[in-house]
A and B are shown apart, each in its own frame.
Chain A
Amino acid sequence: MSFVTVTGLTKSYGAVRAVDDFSFEVKQGEIYALVGPDGAGKTTIIRTLCNLVRSDKGSAFIDGLDVSRQFEAIKSRLGYMPQTFSLYPDLSVEENLRFYGGIHGVVGKRFRDKTEVLYGFSNLKPFASRRAGKLSGGMKQKLALSCALIYDPKLLLLDEPTTGVDPLSRQQFWKILLDLKRQGVTIIVSTPYMDEVARADRACFVFEGRKLVEDRSETLSNRFDGRLYFLDMAPSVKLVDGLNDLPGIDARRFGSGLHLYLAREDAIENYSAMLTALGVDTTDVKEIRPNLEDCFIQFMEQTS
Chain B
Amino acid sequence: MNNHAVEINDLSCHFGSFKAVDRISLTVEQGEIFGFLGANGAGKTTAIRMLCGLLIPSGGGGQVAGFDILKQSEEIKKNIGYMSQKFSLYPDLTGRENLNFYGAAYGLDKKQILARTEELSNRLQLAEFIDRPTLSLPVGWRQRLALAASLLHKPKILFLDEPTGGVDPVFRRKFWQILYQLAEEGVTIFVTTHYMDEAAYCQRISVMHRGQIILRGKPYDLIEQHRAANLEELFIDLIRGRENADA
Q: Do chains A and B touch in the complex (CB under 8 A)?
A: yes
Q: Which residues of A contact B (CB under 8 A)?
A: 36-40, 136-138, 163-169, 171, 192-195, 207, 230, 232, 235-237, 252-257, 291, 293, 296-297, 300-301
> Assuming the A-B contacts A166-B194, A291-B197, are A38 and B41 also in contact, with contact meaning beta carbons closer than 8 angstroms in the complex?
no
Is A36's CB under 8 angstroms from B201's CB?
Answer: no
For the complex, give the distance between the alpha carbons of A39 and B232 in Å: 24
Mark out the residues of chain B between 24 and 52 whose CB falls within 8 Å of any chain A CB in the assembled complex. 38-41
Contact partner, A137, options B40, B172, B240, Cβ 8 Å: B40
Is B218's CB under 8 angstroms from A255's CB?
Answer: yes
Kindly list chain B residues whose C-beta atoms are within 8 Å of the C-beta of A165.
40, 194
Whole-angstrom distance from the CB of A61 to the nearest CB of chain B? 30
Whole-angstrom distance from the CB of A146 to the nearest CB of chain B? 19
Contact partner, B230, options A138, A232, A252, A291, Cβ 8 Å: A291
Give the number of residues in B that approach A within 8 Å (Cβ atoms): 38
Contact partner, B184, options A167, A192, A232, A237, Cβ 8 Å: A237
The 26 listed contacts between A and B (C-beta, < 8 Å) are: A37-B169, A37-B171, A38-B139, A40-B168, A136-B40, A136-B41, A138-B40, A165-B40, A167-B232, A168-B39, A168-B239, A192-B165, A193-B197, A194-B169, A195-B197, A195-B230, A252-B177, A254-B201, A255-B203, A255-B218, A256-B204, A256-B218, A256-B220, A257-B220, A293-B172, A297-B170
For the complex, give the distance between the alpha carbons of A23 and B177 in Å: 35
Is A171's CB under 8 angstroms from B139's CB?
Answer: no
Asked if B167 is at the interface (CB within 8 A of a chain A CB), the reply is yes
Asked if B196 is at the interface (CB within 8 A of a chain A CB), the reply is yes
CB closest chain-B residue, reference A234 = B203
Kindly list chain A residues whose C-beta atoms are within 8 Å of the C-beta of B232.
167, 195
Whole-angstrom distance from the CB of A105 to the nearest CB of chain B? 35
Kindly list chain A residues whose C-beta atoms are within 8 Å of the C-beta of B180.
235, 253
Is A38's CB under 8 angstroms from B194's CB?
Answer: no
Kindly list chain B residues whose C-beta atoms are within 8 Å of the C-beta of A254.
200-201
Contact partner, A168, options B139, B171, B240, Cβ 8 Å: B240
Whole-angstrom distance from the CB of A171 to the nearest CB of chain B? 5
A sample of 16 more A-B contacts (CB under 8 A), given A137-B40, A256-B203, A256-B219, is A37-B139, A38-B139, A165-B194, A167-B196, A167-B239, A168-B235, A168-B239, A169-B40, A171-B236, A195-B230, A232-B220, A235-B180, A256-B220, A293-B197, A296-B169, A297-B170
For the complex, give the distance between the alpha carbons of A275 and B165 in Å: 34
Whole-angstrom distance from the CB of B110 to the nearest CB of chain A? 34
